[in-house]
Amino acid sequence: MTPRESLDAMGWNARFDAAFEPHRVAGRIPARVVAEGRGAFLVHDGSGSRSAAVSGRLRYDSNGDALAYPAVGDWVAVTLGADDGTGTIHALLARQSAIVRRAPVDHANSVQVIAANVDVAFIVTSLNGELNLRRLERYLAVAWESGALPVVVLSKADLDDDVAGHAVAAESVAPGVQVIATSAVTGEGIDAVRAHLAPGRTVVFFGSSGVGKSTLVNTLAGEELLTTSGIREDDARGRHTTTRRQLVPLAEGLVIDTPGLRELALLDGDGLASAFSDVEAVAARCRFSDCGHESEPGCAVRLALGAGDLDADRFEAYRKLEKEAHRAELANDAIARKAERRKWSAMVKGVEQRMDQKYGTER
């Protein structure tokens, strides 16, 4: 396989190729980020994998913005070191999709990119006591806003006594989304998951810790590519094993495995309309476009709730996520405004210092 054919197998396409032209002229080569951990990156340039570090210029231009920093799945412009075979990442190509969450409160950045340039987002939740519909709604909202196609995967079906009932429950909060019950033990649903793979296509498995993401990847691969652990006896949950995000090439396509998420806060509300299309469809029938669904006349939502046509818990979850998204958007705007003020303040101080040097402080 030639380096170009290898890049194509890694997901390279005509759109990325056209966008890369300025970097090609500058003597850089394309590569894809296949792993990251503690600021270090592993990239694949079509000839092989190598470690790479972010250039000082890119670090400066990013201004601490995690969205402007490389993540697993990104296509980047790289130069190679003269002797040691390492690389330097100079730029990111525009992403076709990105799964992004508002970072945990103890994280240095305000946002976190879970995976980039993903075609299908598999939301994995296990059927042995972990299934939580409200959490699933949250994951769906994040998946929809990513630009990837969401698919719900119910893992460990062999440990559940009511697979069909739980599948119906998941479908009720995932309108328009395929729900697949799977078992790595019996093979149930694996072919349905595999059907989403294709050469050059990237899928990601994300969900809480211990739901069996790595086991599913190993099952698709037909071998033990990723380390897994057994189920704990005290709560029937799998042990967390994945410690970093990594892109794994399979015969049929590409898979990104991610560590389990302790929390998944919305970055904005872009995915809510798709995740709650049933609620949005009812709200569209309200007399007023800005209806608050409380005491306004002609409120179709209150009418549907009273008639039992709209689930009250689901509507309450929608309102909760809507408020959370609104707060996140306000916070992000505040962060952006503060960063812009710091930038202009630094520029003004720089001008004043140069003026002082040229004309003196008594100008």
Paired tokens of 116: 């980039």
**What are the pLDDT digits (tens) for 67-92?**
899 999 999 999 988 776 789 999 99
pLDDT value for 349: 56
Biggest CA–CA distance in the chain, Å, is 83
Q: Which residue did the predictor score with more confidence, 233 or 67?
A: 67
Show Cβ contacts of residue 110 under 8 Å, excluding neighbours closer than 6 positions. Answer: 66, 102, 103, 331, 332, 335
pLDDT > 50? residue 238: no
- How many other CB atoms are there within 10 angstroms of residue 134's CB atom? 13
What is the value of pTM for the model shown? 0.79
Residue 175 contacts residue 277 (beta carbons within 8 Å): yes
Q: Positive or negative, the Cα torsion across 88, 92, 93, 97?
A: positive
- Strand segments, DSSP code E, in the chain are 29-37, 40-44, 49-54, 75-80, 87-92, 98-102, 111-116, 120-126, 149-155, 178-181, 202-207, 246-249, 254-257
Q: How do residues 346-362 score in pLDDT, each as one tens digit?
A: 655 555 566 566 556 55
In this predicted model, what pLDDT tens digit does every residue of 255-290 receive, in sequence order? 998 876 766 767 667 788 888 999 999 999 999 988
By the 8 A CB rule, do 160 and 166 touch?
yes
Contact status, residue 100 vs residue 267, Cβ threshold 8 Å: yes
The DSSP code for 94 is P
Contact 118, 256 (CB under 8 A): yes
Question: Is the pLDDT confidence value at 39 over 90?
Answer: no
d(CA 8, CA 346): 43
pLDDT confidence bin for 234, thresholds 50/70/90: very low
Cα(104)–Cα(305) distance, rounded to whole angstroms? 34
pLDDT at site 260: 64
3-state helix, strand, coil split of the chain in percent (to 5) is 40, 20, 40
* Nearest one of 186, 228, 195 to 209, comparing CA atoms: 228
Can you give the length of the chain in residues?
363
Q: Inform me whether the pLDDT recorded for 189 exceeds 90.
A: yes
Which has more confidence, 161 or 341? 161
- The domains of the chain, with CATH numbers, are 3-92 (2.40.50.140), 98-257 (3.40.50.300)
Q: Which region holds residue 293: left if phi is over 0, alpha if psi is between -120 and 50, else beta? A: left
**Which tokens in the block code for residue 88?**
């330097």
